């Protein structure tokens, strides 16, 4: 991996960069669509390329269970298996330690999960997580961690952080594939001193980049912003910073100003499947009755496939008749909206006026109260 900071905005911590990986170059800031099960729901790899996706995320826990690493290895790796020749990042399975809390038991060695579908028991350790990720062949892989729930008391958060740092060291020791790069994950809950301790511990171990974890897990948005900005400011400037599992368009625009380089979230695809699309004015529920005779595109001037060819009235009709094409068109639009947002953000940073870009976008965009996640 080679990461180069290209431009630094004069009024904020926003920056552009170039991330060079085994399967291609990624311009940052970037948004990675979530392909948990080796597919971004309802769209093809060709459609992902058309909207401008540079890199996608897949999940270690889910792919380790189904189809299993042997099948993916026999297919030539995850890129070949899913017909995607651009970079891939795999989560370590650490998020499932949080999201599947009712189905797991944490020990110092790792986590014992009860399969959420078949009911069988599976153990995921730092070494096993790295083994799976190396077999999948992702370009960027993540250290195994525990994400404490919100709220968590300080004693629990301290114990969790100590365990996560132990797991980070074991993940680093297990990483042997030079074609891949390993990122550590900052934890520490809502405590600034613990987040600082986490960063210092991870830097001592040594990682190619850093994920900012433990946010967007139910805490108030203002606290999430405060800790994201604080944590990003602790991380080394010469390495990529990845804010995990966030967010809505207004969250991304604000967090780019903190100096974050990489994002992922299910919001654009999940909202699309549920009949909501994003515009410069905010979220629009296209399945609502008010659009039944509206023959404009989802957003005037949008260059996505859906807006070039279909109307709000038609897409609403598809949703209300249960047609799969509705999910696809709304998802394509949302993914294009996110990638266009990243392109415009990079341009504003290059021109040195990100503050003005941020202010204009946030003034026009009505925020959503929904929270983000990576499931």
Per-residue model confidence as pLDDT tens digits over 236-264: 999 999 999 999 999 999 999 999 999 99
Do 31 and 263 meet the contact criterion of CB atoms below 8 Å apart?
yes
Residue 7 lies in a domain: yes
Q: Find the helix packing angle between 249-256 and 354-364, rounded to 10°.
A: 160
Task: Give me the pLDDT at residue 249, please.
Answer: 98
Q: Find the helix packing angle between 249-256 and 324-350, rounded to 10°.
A: 20
Q: Which residues pair with 17 in a beta bridge?
A: 5, 28
| HSE value, Cβ hemisphere, 13 Å, CA-based, for 312 | 22
Please tell me whether residues 233 and 182 are part of one structural domain: yes
> How many residues in total does the chain contain?
375
Q: Which helix (H) or strand (E) holds 124?
A: strand 121-124
Residue 213 sits in a domain whose CATH number is 3.20.20.105
Residue 133 lies in a domain: yes
CA 15, CA 235: separation in Å to the nearest integer? 14
- Helix, strand, coil in percent for the chain, rounding step 5: 45, 20, 35
Residue 369 lies in a domain: no
Task: Please check the confidence at residue 52 and state whether its pLDDT lies above 50.
Answer: yes
Please tell me whether residues 64 and 196 are part of one structural domain: yes
Longest dimension (CA), the chain: 61
The residue out of 244, 265, 286 marking a domain boundary is 265
pLDDT over 90 percentage in the chain:
96
CA 236, CA 193: separation in Å to the nearest integer? 17
**Quick one: pLDDT band at residue 374, thresholds 50, 70, 90?**
very low
What mean pLDDT comes out for the span 94-106?
Answer: 95
Please tell me whether residues 205 and 77 are part of one structural domain: yes
Which tops the pLDDT comparison, 225 or 372?
A: 225
Please tell me whether residues 259 and 288 are part of one structural domain: no
Please tell me whether residues 181 and 276 are part of one structural domain: no
- 163-175 burial, b at 16+ Cβ within 10 Å, e below that, comes to bbbebbbbbbebb
Q: Which helix (H) or strand (E) holds 293?
A: none
Task: Please check the confidence at residue 116 and state whether its pLDDT lies above 90.
Answer: no
CA 42, CA 324: separation in Å to the nearest integer? 8
Known catalytic membership, residue 9: no
Between the CA atoms of 286, 292, 293 and 296, what dihedral angle is there, to the nearest 10 degrees? 10
SS3 at position 182: strand
The residue out of 225, 243, 265 marking a domain boundary is 265
Please tell me whether residues 255 and 300 are part of one structural domain: no
Residue 46 lies in a domain: yes
Residue 374 lies in a domain: no
SS3 at position 346: helix
What mean pLDDT comes out for the span 203-232?
Answer: 97
Residue 373 lies in a domain: no
| Pairing of β 30-33 and β 88-91 | unpaired
Terminal-residue alpha carbon distance, the chain:
27
Please tell me whether residues 206 and 286 are part of one structural domain: no
Please tell me whether residues 193 and 293 are part of one structural domain: no
Residue 375 lies in a domain: no
Task: Give me the pLDDT at residue 133, please.
Answer: 98
Which of 9, 139, 261, 264 is an active site residue? 264
pTM of the model: 0.97
Task: Please check the confidence at residue 371 and state whether its pLDDT lies above 90.
Answer: no
What mean pLDDT comes out for the span 210-215?
Answer: 98
What domain range is 306 assigned to? 272-364
Residue 177 lies in a domain: yes
Task: Give me the pLDDT at residue 368, please.
Answer: 78
Task: Please check the confidence at residue 375 and state whether its pLDDT lies above 70.
Answer: no
Task: Please check the confidence at residue 176 and state whether its pLDDT lies above 50.
Answer: yes
Please tell me whether residues 119 and 95 are part of one structural domain: yes
Please tell me whether residues 318 and 291 are part of one structural domain: yes
**Quick one: pLDDT band at residue 309, thresholds 50, 70, 90?**
very high
**What is the residue whose two structure tokens read 């350790």?**
125
Average pLDDT, the chain: 96
Task: Give me the pLDDT at residue 372, please.
Answer: 52
Please tell me whether residues 107 and 68 are part of one structural domain: yes
Using only C-alpha atoms, the chain has a radius of gyration, in whole angstroms, of: 20
Count of domains for the chain:
2
Known catalytic membership, residue 91: yes
The residue out of 214, 234, 265 marking a domain boundary is 265
Question: For residue 155, what are the contacts with CB-CB under 8 A and spacing of at least 6?
Answer: none
Please tell me whether residues 304 and 157 are part of one structural domain: no
Which of 91, 139, 145, 373 is an active site residue? 91
Task: Please check the confidence at residue 129 and state whether its pLDDT lies above 80.
Answer: yes
**Quick one: pLDDT band at residue 293, thresholds 50, 70, 90?**
very high
Question: For residue 146, what are the contacts with CB-CB under 8 A and spacing of at least 6?
Answer: 94, 97, 98, 106, 111, 160, 163, 164, 167, 187
CA 186, CA 161: separation in Å to the nearest integer? 9
SS3 at position 83: coil
């Amino acid at each position: 991996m080679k990461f180069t900071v290209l431009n630094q905005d004069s009024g904020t911590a926003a920056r552009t960069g170039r991330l060079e990986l085994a399967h291609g170059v990624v311009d940052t800031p970037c948004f990675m669509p979530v392909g948990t099960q080796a597919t971004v729901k309802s769209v093809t790899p060709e459609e992902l390329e058309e909207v401008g996706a540079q890199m996608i995320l897949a999940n270690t826990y889910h792919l380790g269970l189904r189809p299993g690493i042997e099948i993916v290895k026999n297919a030539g790796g995850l890129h070949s298996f899913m017909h995607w020749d651009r970079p891939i990042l795999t989560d370590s399975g650490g998020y499932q330690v949080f999201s599947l809390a009712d189905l797991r038991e944490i020990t110092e060695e790792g986590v014992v999960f009860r399969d959420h579908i078949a009911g069988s028991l599976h153990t995921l350790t730092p070494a096993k997580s790295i083994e799976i990720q190396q077999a999948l062949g992702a370009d960027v892989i993540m250290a195994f961690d525990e994400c404490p729930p919100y709220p968590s008391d300080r004693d629990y958060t301290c114990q969790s952080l100590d365990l996560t740092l132990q797991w980070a060291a074991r993940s680093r020791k297990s990483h042997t594939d030079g074609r891949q790069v390993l990122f550590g994950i900052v934890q520490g809950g809502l405590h600034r001193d613990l987040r600082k301790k986490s960063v210092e511990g991870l830097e001592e171990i040594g990682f190619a980049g850093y994920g900012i974890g433990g946010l967007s897990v139910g805490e108030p948005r203002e606290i999430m912003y405060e800790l994201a900005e604080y944590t990003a400011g602790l991380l080394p400037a010469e390495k990529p910073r990845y804010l995990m599992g966030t967010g809505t368009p207004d969250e991304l625009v604000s967090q780019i100003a903190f100096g974050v380089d990489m994002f992922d979230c299910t919001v654009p695809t999940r909202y699309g499947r549920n009949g909501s699309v994003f515009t410069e004015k905010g979220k629009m529920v296209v399945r609502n009755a008010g659009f039944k005779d509206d023959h404009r595109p989802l957003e005037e001037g949008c260059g996505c496939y859906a807006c070039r060819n279909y109307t709000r009235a038609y897409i609403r009709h598809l949703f209300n008749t249960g047609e799969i094409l509705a999910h696809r068109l709304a998802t394509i639009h949302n993914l294009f909206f996110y990638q266009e947002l990243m392109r415009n953000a990079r341009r504003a940073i290059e021109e040195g006026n990100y503050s003005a870009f941020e202010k204009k976008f946030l003034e026009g965009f009505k925020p959503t109260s929904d929270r983000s996640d990576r499931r």
